[in-house]
Amino acid sequence: MKSIGETIATLRKEKKMTQSDLAQKMNVTDKAVSKWERGISLPDVETISKLADVLEVSVEELLKSKKKSYLNPKTKELINLILKAVALAMSIAVLVLNILNKVDIKSSIIMLSIGIFCLALYLFDLKEKTDIK
């Protein structure tokens, strides 16, 4: 899946239009079109419908793009590693503390819930990656 900017650029090029051509049809500057395509800014709500008409696609098709991730891949990888580590640590902590009779049921459930939540966040991100491909 492409970003909205990549989608705009692809559709514009398929129509054999330059950024200036598209800008003229949209009554905006070519700099605005350039910013849309680079993901620096997005067309406003009122402009989306006209943009879809000019590019001869539905608004839904134009907007059916992935969101730009503002995290670099290394940061995202580190966050996922931390989420997995917390999930594992919580389950080990509950196991060890229960063996030592040093934790009550309520605390065990809270720790396991935290671990499951972290694991769910990791799996959600993993599913999002595989859905895109």
Per the model's pLDDT, the better-predicted residue between 114 and 130 turns out to be 114
Evaluate if residue 92 carries a pLDDT over 60: yes
Mean pLDDT of 118-127: 88
- Using one digit for the tens of pLDDT, what is the confidence trace for 44-62? 888 999 999 999 998 888 8
Give residue 2's pLDDT. Answer: 78
The mean predicted confidence, pLDDT, of the chain is: 89
CA 15 from chain centre, in angstroms, equals 28
Mean pLDDT of 95-109: 94
